[in-house]
Amino acid sequence: MTTKNTYILAIESSCDDTAAAVLCNEQVSSNKIATQKIHEQYGGVVPELASRAHEQNIVPVVQAALNEAGVSLQQIDAIAFTKGPGLLGSLMVGASFAKSLSLGLQIPLIAVNHMQGHLLAHFIKDASSCQPNFPFLGLTISGGHTQIVIVRDYFDMELIGQTIDDAIGEAFDKTAKNLGLTYPGGPLIDKYAKNGNPKAFKLPKPKVKDLDFSFSGFKTAVMYLIRKETAKNPNFIAENLEDLCASVQYTLCQILLDKVKKAVKQTGITSIALGGGVSANSEIRDVFTKAQSRFGWQVALPKFSYTTDNAAMIGIAGYYKFLKKDFSDLSVKAQSRIHF
Ligand code: KG4
Ligand code: ZN
């Protein structure tokens, strides 16, 4: 007997990427992203421009995802979309599109929490997948969030630590901006850090209680260092770019590692899964990989294509909700803030 495949069309539009994916059960048939270049010239995401670009991009991106998957709209069993957290205007474009399609095709609508999506991306089945075992500690590090979460089951997640101000991605991006690098600066810091000395500049590690994080003091400290040194030597940045990037990256990485060590001690959970755009960072990946032999942890790193915002992660979360028949009605609202 053959069981019928389930096709989920997933839409992600929480920030500045318009993304659509088609999943066949737990496998990704297509995963398309239209990255909005318009924000580069502003050095950060401009919400109003993001909403407009989503509106322009969403139909072609969905069409491209269906074409690549070789699946027609009539074959789709359910539409999953990001309900939040994120920029409200951006979320509303994806939510409205998903609702219309669900209504037009008369198929279920599934609302997905973006942060759960980042962690559930680990359960996408492909040749290289290595899935964490429950319970595990999820470390979600992105441009909007920095969280430590106990993941007991697919949708049983408890937030046990988070940033009290900036997200770690902002620390990367704003520091990069101060170094004259383009937005988003995280990947560029990663690139320049490869040839730099991580101990060249001693940068402060914030003292924050429990499992919480803070990055605004760090960002300010780097800014003052740059100002002070540039006043003495106008070529300071150019002459020290690689060392500055390496020192910034090293310190941010140590801040994460220290908190995860504390979380492991507190919870007794030694299985860790990283998620979010910043988990693409090569040093973070390296340090957490080495932590397996250093501390006896099991560490799951997401595939690069599932680190930054994408719709495949929304699709896998949607698939598990489909199995539970956890559907939303058409009155469901996008929410800029949302908890687990
Ligand atoms: O998850 P994501 O795509 O969007 C949010 O939900 O925020 O994360 C974007 C963030 C940006 O801050 C970007 O600079 C950062 O991920 N990022 C990196 C790297 N690749 C992306 N940060 C450091 N190193 C990288 N290689
Ligand atoms: Zn994200």
Going by C-alpha positions, the residue among 77, 104, 107, 93 that lies closest to residue 328 is 107
What confidence category does residue 39 fall into, taking pLDDT thresholds of 50, 70 and 90?
confident
Q: Would you say the CB of residue 187 lies under 6 angstroms from ligand 1? A: yes
Find the 4 Cα to ligand 2 centroid distance in Å.
Answer: 31
Q: What is the secondary structure of 143-158 as a DSSP string?
A: SS-EEEEEEEETTEEE
Percentage of the chain lying above the pLDDT 90 cut: 90
Burial of 263 (0-12, 13-18, 19+ CB in 10 A): buried
Indicate if the pLDDT at residue 67 is higher than 70: yes
Give the residue whose CA is nearest to atom 1 of ligand 1: 277
Domains of the chain: residue spans and CATH: 7-121+307-323 (3.30.420.40), 130-301 (3.30.420.40)
Helix H or strand E encompassing 255: helix 236-267
Q: How many residues does the chain have?
A: 340
Ligand nearest to the CA of 166: 1
289-329 pLDDT, tens digit each: 999 999 999 999 999 999 999 999 999 999 999 999 999 99
Whole-number Å distance between alpha carbons of 299 and 122? 11
Ligand nearest to the CA of 118: 2
Q: Are strands 27-35 and 7-12 parallel, antiparallel or unpaired?
A: unpaired
Tell me the average pLDDT across 5-18. 95
Cα angle, residue 302 at apex, residues 299 and 307 outer, rounded to 5°: 135
Q: Would you say the CB of residue 143 lies under 6 angstroms from ligand 1? A: yes
Q: Which tokens hold the place of 185?
A: 């600066």
Indicate if the pLDDT at residue 2 is higher than 70: no
210-261 pLDDT, tens digit each: 999 999 999 999 999 999 999 999 999 999 999 999 999 999 999 999 999 9
Give the up-direction half-sphere exposure of residue 257: CA atoms within 13 A in the CB hemisphere: 19
More confident residue, 282 or 53: 282
Find the 185 Cα to ligand 1 centroid distance in Å.
Answer: 8
Torsion from C-alpha of 160, 146, 313, 98, nearest 10 degrees:
100
Give the residue whose CA is nearest to atom 14 of ligand 1: 186
Q: Would you say the CB of residue 190 lies under 6 angstroms from ligand 1? A: yes
Q: Contact at 8 Å (CB) between 124 and 28?
A: yes
Find the 168 Cα to ligand 1 centroid distance in Å.
Answer: 9
* Residue from 308, 309, 313, 336 to probe ligand 1 pocket by mutation (most atoms less than 8 Å from CB): 308
Find the 278 Cα to ligand 2 centroid distance in Å.
Answer: 9
Query: Per DSSP, what are the bridge partners of residue 322?
Result: none
139-191 pLDDT, tens digit each: 999 999 999 999 999 999 999 999 999 999 999 999 999 999 998 999 999 99
Whole-number Å distance between alpha carbons of 284 and 273? 12
Ligand nearest to the CA of 141: 1
Q: Which tokens hold the place of 90?
A: 């951006």
SS3 track for 56-121: HHHHHHHHHHHHHHCCCHHHCCEEEEEEECCCHHHHHHHHHHHHHHHHHHCCCEEEEEHHHHHHHH
Give the residue whose CA is nearest to atom 20 of ligand 1: 187
* Residue from 31, 178, 278 to probe ligand 1 pocket by mutation (most atoms less than 8 Å from CB): 278
Is residue 70 left, alpha or beta, with left meaning phi > 0 and alpha meaning psi from -120 to 50?
Answer: left
The minimum-distance atom of ligand 1 relative to the CA of 185 is 14
Mean of all residue pLDDT scores within the chain: 95
Find the 203 Cα to ligand 2 centroid distance in Å.
Answer: 27
Q: Are strands 27-35 and 136-141 parallel, antiparallel or unpaired?
A: unpaired
The one-letter amino acid code at 73 reads L
Q: Would you say the CB of residue 309 lies under 6 angstroms from ligand 1? A: yes
The minimum-distance atom of ligand 1 relative to the CA of 280 is 26
Whole-number Å distance between alpha carbons of 17 and 310? 8
Whole-number Å distance between alpha carbons of 81 and 178? 35
119-132 pLDDT, tens digit each: 999 999 987 777 99
91-118 pLDDT, tens digit each: 999 999 999 999 999 999 999 999 999 9
Whole-number Å distance between alpha carbons of 174 and 248? 11
The one-letter amino acid code at 235 reads N
CA 81 to chain centroid, in Å, comes to 15
Indicate if the pLDDT at residue 59 is higher than 60: yes
The minimum-distance atom of ligand 1 relative to the CA of 14 is 6
